[in-house]
Amino acid sequence: MRAIRRFTVRTVLPEALAPLDALAQNLRWSWHTPTRDLFASLDPQLWEAVHGDPVALLGSLAPRRLEQLALDRSLVAQVHELDADLQRYLTEPRWYQTSCTAPDKPAAIAYFSAEYGITAVLPQYSGGLGILAGDHLKSASDLGVPIVGVGLLYGAGYFKQSLTRDGWQHETYPLLDPDNLPLTLLREADGTAARVQLPLPGGRRLYAQVWLAQVGRVPLLLLDSNVSDNDDAARRVTDRLYGGSPDHRLQQELLLGMGGVKALRLYSRLTGAPRPEVYHCNEGHAGFLAVERIHELIEAEGLAFETALEAVKAGTVFTTHTPVPAGISRYSADLIAEYFGGGAELPGIPLEKVLALGAEDYEGGNPGVFNMAILGLRAAKRANGVAQLHGKVSREMFHQLWPGFDVSEVPITSITNGVHAPTWVDPSFVELAERHLTREQLESGEGWRLSPEEGGVSDAELWDMRHRLRGKLVKEARRRVRKSWLDRGASPAQLGWTDSVLDPDALTIGFARRVPTYKRLTLMLSDPERFTRLLTDPERPVQIVVAGKSHPDDEQGVGLIQRLVQFADQAGVRERIVFLPNYDIAMAQTLMPGCDVWLNNPLRPLEASGTSGMKCALNGALNLSILDGWWDEWYDGRNGWAIPTADGVEDPAARDQLEAAALYEILESTVVPRFYDRDDDGVPRHWMEMVRHTLATLGPKVQATRMVREYVERLYSPVAGYAHALDGPSDHRGADELARWKTRVRQAWPAVRVDHVEADGVADVVKVGDRISMTAYVSLGDLRPEDVEVQAVAGRPDEADNLRDLIVLPLEPAEALEGGRYAFRGERTLDQTGPFGYTVRIVPCHDGLAGYTELGLAAAAQH
Ligand SMILES: *Cc1c(COP(=O)(O)O)cnc(C)c1O
């Protein structure tokens, strides 16, 4: 294979159609319906055959056909119009330029992610994390936020799934040919491929070339180690997504993080693009970006490690995506030592400093392990989870890193995920909405409350649209079921029944996601008889479309798929429940709009956010879900249904039984009757009320533009502010000063203590309106009063004597006493009733800190 020299013959477009190339190369077509319609119109049959891939379409059109098309005046005019529209989209000022009022707006933001789900044409994702990253880039593009994405180009992407005869998942890894993808290679001025390189142990080197995918306005740099200078092992580093041994995955993460920073520098050098001021590490995989940036600063500017760390940290944001500890990348410290110790040590970065960044050096941690999430947290100034509940769970999960503080103070906030509406709303639904409603009415969601007399969409029209979307899904599901059975070895003669699989009029439930155990794919099978009765009800049938890939190494997951497939294979139910192999973006785009109900039953609280239900909501489907992830936050009693959870039931089997019973109960008593409750025109009025309410209230909230705006305002802009303050005029004086101050504070801390506290006005019972005044006598050792904040921390004591609903009241320095001792004072009027407790603590205080928790140091009064 390797001996063969491959090359690609590119189509040369006739002059009149030349802009088609730019339209195909910019991935904006993936969310811009008019551009896709244009490509489809060139050859509708071929468009189907290439699965809606513009690059493949142009590559397959015969030169003669192209010449004919070039004579079509109206087509040529359309091509030029859409080209002009794209140019406008790429250059005109958008939200970030015109309306974003955040201070310290960064000129560029680098976004690192191990996977990207942008279009089915570029299969570089395994699930929600990648889709979210894709939606983040697209929405940033729509808003004009100057992001540049960084990732890896996997030679085979994630696997393709099919089924064996007995329902076992079968994986294949078809190789992608980057030359036939919407990618361009970064080249040096002399035309050679631009490359980055990383040292590997034993004097080896890892080279990577860099592909550019243009996602609207956002460039996405993808590193690819499949180059001829690499030895075979190095060539295979980017062979597939999440494959291989720990060593292989570590090399992928080194290339992503460290190689990614180098790729950004390369990109700036070759194109003049501004250097990023903010670095967003999307999940821990890319954590090594911090090590490379520290390395850069030490090498180029001779900074001390601690100074470089402060400078890097100031501009970094970390997002954690998993509440499942097993979902976090962890390596043995010995393996890390191979890459950062001995002869491989980076100048100025001794091995133990690298190890310390990812060390689980807290109670309950594993000292032999290097933890990528901890690296992410330690190297970032701000961190977040991806839904409110996930923020809370993350604060609990990482509390050990901030042991002196209450869980509620752990500095991990949350920004709830969103989805990119132009990607996920069916074009015919968009067309209906835009025919009736103005942009403002759609943006506020209020348009969906308007009656037809007020210009709104009527129930009948909306219901008709739901019916059409369901019909499209049924047609597509039949095609896929048939194909799956052929792949499983059935003969066409045996497959007549697949033409009548599913019913375009029946209540359709969707369930599609990756298949880790906690998502409980087979919960619906808990009581097979009761479930079968639901499916086969002659009057009011329920039908279910299921899809999902399991990680190939997850035997349990693969087993769950088999159980579901074997259930769905049974003659009695196979028309009502189908498993569609090879879940991907293309399938999702038909499946989600076509469902009436989207089912999600994870084991709470293990679903960080989930986004598939949001995509459904935007198409007018209703969610039926465990109160986990985003649904915990936005379920309001009228936009769908909450499956009650048996929180606290310890036995997992018992818990599954209880939650499954609750699921059946809601279906039988509420969902099914409501769907089939029709008026004289055949419209389910009550159902449509819920659909409208969903569109009106969830519509604006679940969008990724809302999410990206929050990232800009709450994370990128503040972090850029820290970076500017510390960087100063690029001499890093601020970072140096902060690093020295932190070292001094850490050294002095053992001597810092609260000696005693005097409070006036505190009796066993005090009244609202009474004043309490407090004096704390503290020892600061070698620190000065301005290095610390002395805080009275008040709240409601719980049974374990922890304070809840904390109020933090800084006390003022009042008096210097002898021997490094000081008195601090404060007063407060009590404004709430009920039990009340307080304590006093000392925390470090400095303008350069993101907050008083940053160092994880607190000296509390001893009671
Ligand atoms: C939206 C989407 C996901 C993520 O769904 P979750 O709700 O997070 O499980 C995964 N895969 C595909 C193809 C998607 O479109």
Mean pLDDT of the region 584-593: 97
Which ranges of 537-628 does DSSP label H, i.e. alpha helix? 555-568, 585-594, 612-618
CA of 512 relative to ligand 1 center, distance in Å: 7
* Residue 2 pLDDT exceeds 50: no
What pLDDT shows up at residue 565? 98
Please state, in angstroms and rounded to a whole number, the distance separating the CA atoms of residues 566 and 579: 10
Q: How large a percentage of the chain has pLDDT more than 70?
A: 98
CA of 613 relative to ligand 1 center, distance in Å: 9
* Residue 1 pLDDT exceeds 50: no
Ligand 1 atom closest to the CA of 587, numbered from 1: 13
Domain count, the chain: 3
724 vs 49, 303, 582, CA distance in Å? 52, 17, 46
Residue 320 φ/ψ, nearest 5 degrees: -100, 140
Q: Among 36, 69, 89, where does a domain finish?
A: 89
CA of 130 relative to ligand 1 center, distance in Å: 9
Whether 658 and 572 share a structural domain: yes
Nearest alpha-carbon partner for 121 in 196, 38, 59: 59
Whether 498 and 594 share a structural domain: yes
Mean pLDDT of the region 285-299: 97
Mean pLDDT of the region 635-652: 94
* Residue 764 pLDDT exceeds 80: no
What pLDDT shows up at residue 87? 98
What confidence category does residue 178 fall into, taking pLDDT thresholds of 50, 70 and 90?
very high
Ligand 1 atom closest to the CA of 588, numbered from 1: 15
Residue 578 located in a structural domain: yes
What confidence category does residue 10 fall into, taking pLDDT thresholds of 50, 70 and 90?
low
Whether 489 and 631 share a structural domain: yes
Tell me: the pLDDT tens digits for 516-539?
Answer: 999 999 999 999 999 999 999 999
Residue 279 located in a structural domain: no
What pLDDT shows up at residue 4? 56
Please state, in angstroms and rounded to a whole number, the distance separating the CA atoms of residues 322 and 282: 11
Nearest CA to ligand 1 atom 4: 128
Ligand 1 atom closest to the CA of 613, numbered from 1: 7
CA of 614 relative to ligand 1 center, distance in Å: 10
Q: Among 677, 701, 720, where does a domain finish?
A: 677
Whether 545 and 660 share a structural domain: yes
* Residue 200 pLDDT exceeds 60: yes
Domain CATH number, residue 767: 2.60.40
What confidence category does residue 575 fall into, taking pLDDT thresholds of 50, 70 and 90?
very high
Whether 660 and 783 share a structural domain: no
CA of 319 relative to ligand 1 center, distance in Å: 18
Which residue has tokens 């993350």? 394
* Residue 6 pLDDT exceeds 80: no
Nearest CA to ligand 1 atom 9: 513
Nearest CA to ligand 1 atom 3: 128
Nearest alpha-carbon partner for 155 in 117, 191, 181, 127: 181
Ligand 1 atom closest to the CA of 512, numbered from 1: 9
Mean pLDDT of the region 105-121: 97
538 vs 97, 535, 576, CA distance in Å? 58, 9, 12
CA of 217 relative to ligand 1 center, distance in Å: 24
Report the phi/psi class of residue 94: left, alpha or beta, with left for phi > 0 and alpha for psi in -120 to 50. Answer: beta
What is the CA 833 to chain-centroid distance, rounded? 42
| pTM (two decimals) | 0.96
The CA angle 32-35-37, to the nearest 5 degrees, is 105
Whether 460 and 587 share a structural domain: yes
Whether 607 and 484 share a structural domain: yes
CA of 456 relative to ligand 1 center, distance in Å: 31
Ligand 1 atom closest to the CA of 419, numbered from 1: 1
Nearest CA to ligand 1 atom 8: 610
What pLDDT shows up at residue 862? 77
Lowest mean pLDDT among 33-47, 650-664, 728-742: 728-742
What domain range is 75 assigned to? 15-89
Cis peptide before 411 (omega within 30 of 0): no
The preferred substitution site among 611, 618, 628, 632 for testing ligand 1, maximizing ligand atoms within 8 Å of CB, is 611
Q: Among positive and negative, which fits the CA dihedral 220, 224, 229, 230?
A: positive
Please state, in angstroms and rounded to a whole number, the distance separating the CA atoms of residues 282 and 129: 9
Residue 520 located in a structural domain: yes
Ligand 1 atom closest to the CA of 600, numbered from 1: 7
Tell me: the pLDDT tens digits for 215-248?
Answer: 999 999 999 999 999 999 999 999 999 878 999 9
Whether 763 and 669 share a structural domain: no
Average pLDDT score over the chain: 95
Residue 49 located in a structural domain: yes
* Residue 7 pLDDT exceeds 80: no
* Residue 651 pLDDT exceeds 60: yes
Q: At what angle do helices 289-301 and 305-314 cross, to 10 degrees?
A: 130
Residue 116, classed as helix, strand or coil, is: strand
What pLDDT shows up at residue 5? 57
Domain CATH number, residue 671: 3.40.50.2000
Tell me: the pLDDT tens digits for 52-96?
Answer: 999 999 999 999 999 999 999 999 999 999 999 999 999 999 999
Q: Among positive and negative, which fits the CA dihedral 642, 646, 652, 654?
A: negative
Whether 672 and 757 share a structural domain: no
Residue 801 located in a structural domain: yes
Residue 292, classed as helix, strand or coil, is: helix
Nearest CA to ligand 1 atom 1: 612
Whether 764 and 642 share a structural domain: no
Q: How large a percentage of the chain has pLDDT more than 90?
A: 89
Mean pLDDT of the region 695-699: 97
Please state, in angstroms and rounded to a whole number, the distance separating the CA atoms of residues 85 and 73: 18
Pocket of ligand 1 (CB under 6 A): 127-128, 131, 513, 583-585, 588, 610-612, 615
Q: Which residue has the higher pLDDT, 11 or 416?
A: 416
CA of 788 relative to ligand 1 center, distance in Å: 46
Residue 668 located in a structural domain: yes
* Residue 284 pLDDT exceeds 90: yes
Whether 658 and 781 share a structural domain: no
Residue 216 located in a structural domain: no
Ligand 1 atom closest to the CA of 128, numbered from 1: 4
Nearest CA to ligand 1 atom 5: 612
Whether 641 and 544 share a structural domain: yes
Lowest mean pLDDT among 105-114, 536-545, 828-837: 828-837
Tokens standing for residue 779 = 């020892």
- 359 secondary structure, DSSP code: B
Q: DSSP assignment of 24-70, as one string? A: HHBGGGGG-HHHHHHHHHH-HHHHHHTTS-HHHHHHHS-HHHHHHHH
Mean pLDDT of the region 562-588: 97
330 vs 246, 292, 436, 552, CA distance in Å? 9, 19, 52, 19
Q: DSSP assignment of 770-820, as one string? A: -EEEEEEEEE-TT--GGGEEEEEEEEEE-TTS-EEEEEEEEEEEEEE-STT
The preferred substitution site among 121, 131, 135 for testing ligand 1, maximizing ligand atoms within 8 Å of CB, is 131
* Residue 772 pLDDT exceeds 90: no
Ligand 1 atom closest to the CA of 584, numbered from 1: 13
Nearest alpha-carbon partner for 623 in 564, 673, 690, 700: 690
Q: Among 70, 89, 108, where does a domain finish?
A: 89
Residue 721 located in a structural domain: no
DSSP E strand stretches across 518-636: 542-547, 577-579, 597-600, 622-626
The preferred substitution site among 417, 585, 609, 612 for testing ligand 1, maximizing ligand atoms within 8 Å of CB, is 612
